[in-house]
């Protein structure tokens, strides 16, 4: 029973709220038509505070502020309205006006994006198409300045990379120098070794070397000694024959 009563009370509250009329909104619209934008803004704010989920007051609030050349403030009003807009025509108008705000502020990047969103909701609107083309041309002619901080970061990064490369080059030079010194030391050691080899006499120096025929010096000397002995014997015989008076020819067996 309690649940039924609670449900009934909620239903009554919903119906009452649904039937409740916004008496301020018509007055705000009237002020807007009469170009009394200050009064219109005040009444739109009252209407929006009473019915925050309704879209008309928040959207028209942006228009009334825009008409007073308060572009930055109107920008937030349009962005607020877009949170609750449901239909494509409403979104098209809000994005179109938002693009106009960005054009006034010379923020052509945001203007292009706003007009693009407007065309997504109504691609047939010629005014939006024209503004979109104009915003793109202005963006091309006036590109946004690059972020100085980003420049500094990029510069610092390049400097660090350059320092690293220089350090690597220096390390490589040092390594090459070390390798060169090692090679030089090896060459010097080799030269010293070659010099020592030259200075050192061969172990067999003073020893008889074999002749081309294959006979060593020692063997040759032995043969000469043998020949000399034989000649001595012959000479002794010759001397003996001289004593006898009969000459004798000797042929060298050489």
Query: What pLDDT, on a 0 to 100 scale, did the predictor assign at position 251?
Result: 39
Tally of structural domains, the chain: 2
Q: Among 70-74, 99-103, 197-201, which stretch is predicted with the lowest mean pLDDT?
A: 197-201
Closest CA to 99 of 82, 123, 116: 116
Give the integer Cα–Cα distance in Å for 136 and 108.
7
Confidence of residue 14 (pLDDT cuts 50, 70, 90): very low
* Position 15 pLDDT exceeds 50: no
Shared domain for 91 and 136, answered yes or no, is yes
Q: What is the CATH number of the domain that holds 101?
A: 1.25.40
* Position 246 pLDDT exceeds 50: no
Tokens of 125: 């609107």
Task: Report CA 117 to chain centroid distance, whole Å.
Answer: 34
Whether 47 maps to a domain, the answer reads: yes
Containing structural domain, residue 67: 25-77
Q: Between the CA atoms of 115, 117, 119 and 122, what dihedral angle is there, to the nearest 10 degrees?
A: -130
Q: pLDDT, tens digit, for every residue of 61-89?
A: 999 999 999 998 999 999 989 998 889 99
* Position 213 pLDDT exceeds 70: no
Decide which of 3 and 221 is more confident: 221
Query: What pLDDT, on a 0 to 100 scale, did the predictor assign at position 145?
Result: 82
* Position 118 pLDDT exceeds 80: yes
Q: pLDDT, tens digit, for every residue of 16-62?
A: 454 468 899 999 999 999 999 999 999 999 999 999 888 889 899 99
* Position 170 pLDDT exceeds 80: no
Domain end among 42, 77, 112: 77
Whether 152 maps to a domain, the answer reads: no
- pTM reported for the whole predicted model: 0.52
Task: Tokens 């590109």: give the residue.
Answer: 143
Q: Which helix (H) or strand (E) holds 38?
A: helix 37-50
Shared domain for 64 and 111, answered yes or no, is no
Shared domain for 58 and 103, answered yes or no, is no
Shared domain for 65 and 94, answered yes or no, is no
CA distances 19 to 5, 14, 49, 57, 82, Å, are 21, 9, 18, 18, 25
Give the integer Cα–Cα distance in Å for 73 and 174.
65
Query: What pLDDT, on a 0 to 100 scale, did the predictor assign at position 42?
Result: 94
Shared domain for 91 and 140, answered yes or no, is yes
Closest CA to 65 of 81, 87, 83: 81
């Amino acid at each position: 029973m309690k649940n039924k009563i609670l449900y009934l009370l909620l239903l009554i509250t919903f119906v009452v709220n649904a039937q409740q009329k916004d008496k301020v909104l018509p007055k705000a619209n009237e002020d807007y038509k009469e170009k009394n934008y200050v009064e219109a803004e005040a009444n739109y704010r009252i209407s929006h505070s009473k019915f925050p989920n309704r879209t008309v007051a928040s959207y028209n609030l942006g228009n009334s502020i825009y008409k007073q050349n308060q572009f930055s403030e109107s920008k937030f009003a349009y962005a607020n309205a877009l949170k609750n807009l449901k239909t494509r025509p409403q979104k098209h108008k809000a994005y179109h006006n938002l693009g106009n705000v960005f054009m006034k502020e010379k923020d052509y990047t945001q203007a292009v994006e706003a007009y693009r969103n407007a065309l997504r909701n109504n691609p047939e609107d010629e005014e939006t198409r024209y503004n979109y083309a104009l915003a793109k041309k202005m963006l091309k002619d006036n590109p946004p300045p690059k972020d100085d901080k980003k420049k500094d970061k990029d510069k610092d990064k390049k400097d660090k990379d350059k320092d690293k490369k220089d350090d690597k080059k220096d390390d490589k030079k040092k390594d090459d120098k070390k390798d060169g010194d090692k090679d030089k030391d090896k060459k010097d050691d080799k030269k010293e070794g070659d010099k020592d080899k030259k200075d050192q006499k061969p172990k067999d120096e003073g020893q008889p070397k074999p002749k081309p025929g294959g006979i060593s010096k020692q063997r040759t000397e032995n043969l000469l000694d043998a020949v000399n002995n034989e000649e001595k014997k012959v000479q002794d015989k010759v001397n003996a024959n001289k004593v006898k008076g009969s000459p004798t020819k000797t042929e060298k067996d050489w």
